A and B are shown apart, each in its own frame.
Chain A
Amino acid sequence: MKLQKATRYGLYAVLELAANPDEQLSATDIAAAYGISGNHLAKVLRDLGRAGLVDSARGAGGGYRFSGNARRVTLLDVISLFEDISSDTGSGDGADTEIGRALDLVLGEIDDIARATFGSITIETLLKTMRWRQEREARAAAPDLASPG
């Protein structure tokens, strides 16, 4: 699945800010961490601000903070701000043929799974799952240090 650049940048920004709730990060900080364009990210952050997902503080030390509810905002909520991943079936050249319809059924199935997946993963769940994975990898790398349970 390939997301547009703005969508990916939006997800990076939201997840980075939500993972560091006590810090204010500038567009430059986030852009540097992900090796992406600061200008493009600044525009994405403005879109996230309009949607109420990030807050910006002006002045020295100013930056962005995540202002949504990490336990309820899903990946789909963020993605939908930047692109429409709903099925585009039933339209376009050849869609109204037997083969076009059969093909759309398969494409629709894939899109449906993608939407259900993004719609069920909250920001908190993604960060939590990432931390679990890191802990498991650390335990696997140093089994002697692992604490039981």
Chain B
Amino acid sequence: MTDDTTLLANDNATRHATGDGEADVLVRRATANDLPLVIELDGDNTGLHKPDYWGETFHETERHPGQHFLIAESASSDHEFLGFIVGEVRAWEFGSRPCGWILTIGVVHERRVAGVGSALFDAICERFAADGVKTVRTMLARHDQLNMSFFRSQGMMAGSFIELEKPID
């Protein structure tokens, strides 16, 4: 958890101390101006360039409470873009009580392993808690060691659901 999370005026932005002398991170709601950088970073991470998808995601999250599209930027005057996280509250899916889902996260390569991902995770959990949910969930490829290690480091463990699938021929 971040030690120093101060609610700032406007836009529900939160400030997160990353520790170890690293610069603080500001986490705030995304604006349309952030989309080009998000699209580029997501393209690097996934190998897919999907501007339409991100445009739609942005408009959806703007419209629906319980959907969160957050941006991390450096708290210094340059407001350097550091990363993003997207998540939403889903209710009664697969018979599950309402819980917060993290759908995707990305941190700029040069700014990794410096607490930005943890700040984004903490920020979205705070928003989920304010939405009234008590559990946060995500889904990962089993062999995705980086994301697995990251989410485990946030204290996440296997939940009571398991994903099953089958090719349909």
Contact = CB atoms under 8 A, between A and B. Distances in A.
Given A122-B149, A125-B149, A116 B143 contact: yes
Interface of A: 74, 112-113, 116-117, 119-122, 124-125, 128-129, 132, 149
Contacts, number: 29
Contacts of A125: 149, 152-153
A123 B112 CA distance: 20
A129 B148 contact: no
A112 B143 CA distance: 9
A112 to B, nearest CB: 7
Label chain B's interface by main secondary structure: loop
A113 B141 CA distance: 11
Interface residues of B, number: 11
A117 B149 contact: no
B167 interface: no
Contact of B155 (A116, A120, A129): A129
B153 A116 contact: no
Interface string B136-169: 0000001101001100110101100000000000
Given A121-B152, A122-B149, A125-B153, 16 more contacts: A112-B142, A116-B148, A117-B158, A119-B145, A120-B148, A121-B149, A122-B152, A122-B153, A125-B149, A125-B152, A128-B153, A128-B155, A129-B152, A129-B157, A132-B155, A149-B5
Contacts of A149: 5
B157 A120 contact: no
A113 B153 contact: no
Nearest to A119: B145
B14 to A, nearest CB: 12
Nearest to B5: A149
Closest 4 CB pairs of A and B: A120-B148, A116-B142, A125-B153, A120-B149
A120 B157 CA distance: 11
A124 B153 contact: yes
Contacts of A113: 142
Contacts of B142: 112-113, 116
A129 B153 CA distance: 8
